[in-house]
Amino acid sequence: MSSELVIQGSLFTPVSPTEFTFLRQALVCIDSTGTIARIVRATDTDYSDVQQTAQRLDHLWQLPHNQYILPGFIDLHVHAPQWPQAGLALDRPLDQWLNTYTFPLEAKFADTTYATKVYHHLVHELLRNGTTTAMYFGTLHLDANLALARQCAQQGQRGFIGQLAMDNPDQTPATYRQASSQEALQTTERFIVQLQRLAKTTGAALTPVITPRFVPSCTSETLRGLGVLAHRNDLPIQSHCSESNWEEQYAELTYHQRDAAVLDQFQLLTSRSVMAHGTQLNADDLTLFADRQTTVAHCPISNCYFGNAVFPVQQALQHQVNVGLGSDLSGGFTPSL
């Protein structure tokens, strides 16, 4: 059976955190669903046959010799509503940056028209920079989060999208938080149902993600309920963990545990969890992450501004912790991984 598209060109693809494979002038055969059905190496016996068949059917796309094929980038940590302020006020401490700039901006996404405009541009820009899969923090607004999902579907990006939960009156502004734990959990449940329905009707690769913003922003009731929802629906979880001194100190003062232990207490560290930053993680935390098979979204640019430390990548890998990359828009100023 012939492929719908055959791309001829040299490609790089990773095989481990420290190794990659390079294939010169391979044939990447893509089927009618957009899936790579086969990669034909230049040394394969049927290389010429596959190339000639694709050329005869006008399905061959030959890259110039100064261009290369790369896998689509996977951005594990994007704050979608923060795109309009990328690069703004990165000299401020994290809590000031959130309360002065970020929370007021995110509150504007109650306007779904505004949200759609921003998200159309964001998804386009990420795709333009090679990001074909993104894990997104949304806002408190269900309709705006669905608008983000529709942009992913329309533009062909795989989206893992989170309905934000934050209800702690001691750590979040009255103008931008859920009124109660019940509201936070019910909105999350509605979002799960509606996003799964949208994915089914569009055929798009869309997945709801359980999303407590971080431990300080949520009451213990909400953290507990989100853990239950994640397990009941077998869903990914995303949050921040040990991002800064402030966040780590809050966990220790409030729960008398480290940030990672608090998340684990509420069943939020799983094999489907992605926790951003981790600059304050110690050896015990890394062992816990490895035991739970939880992934760290390493965000090197934003860590320079807000992390108060450098994430120990080599130490994490030695502990067998899964590590991926995140842009952390807008704590990171660039959409390019």
CATH code of the domain in which 23 resides: 2.30.40.10
* In a shared domain, residues 38 and 158: no
- Asked whether residue 59 falls in the same domain as residue 201, the answer is no
Query: Is residue 31 located within the same domain as residue 47?
Result: yes
Domain that holds residue 39: 5-69
**Region 95-111 average pLDDT:** 93
Instruction: Give every CB contact of residue 98 below 8 A, 6+ residues apart in sequence.
Output: none
* Residue 127 sits in the same domain as residue 268: yes
Task: Give a yes or no: residue 336 inside a domain.
Answer: no
Q: At what angle do helices 142-155 and 112-128 cross, to 10 degrees?
A: 40
Distance of CA 239 to the CA centre of its chain: 10
Residue 80 pLDDT: 98
The pLDDT tens digits for 201-244 are 999 999 999 999 999 999 999 999 999 999 999 999 999 999 98
Domain boundary among 32, 51, 69: 69
Last residue of a domain, one of 50, 69, 88: 69
Phi, psi of 313 (to 5 degrees): -60, -50
- Does residue 333 lie in a domain region? no
Q: Are residues 227 and 133 in the same domain?
A: yes
Does any domain span residue 178?
yes
Looking at the structure of the chain, the number of domains it has is: 2
Is residue 334 in some structural domain?
no
Model confidence pLDDT, tens digit, residues 172-199: 999 999 999 999 999 999 999 999 999 9
d(CA 184, CA 52): 57
Q: What's 286's domain CATH number?
A: 3.20.20.140
Query: What's residue 1's pLDDT?
Result: 54
Per the domain annotation, does 249 fall within a domain? yes
Q: What is the pTM of this model?
A: 0.93
Please check whether residues 56 and 198 belong to one and the same domain: no
**Mean pLDDT value across the chain:** 95
Strands (E), 17-59: 19-30, 36-40
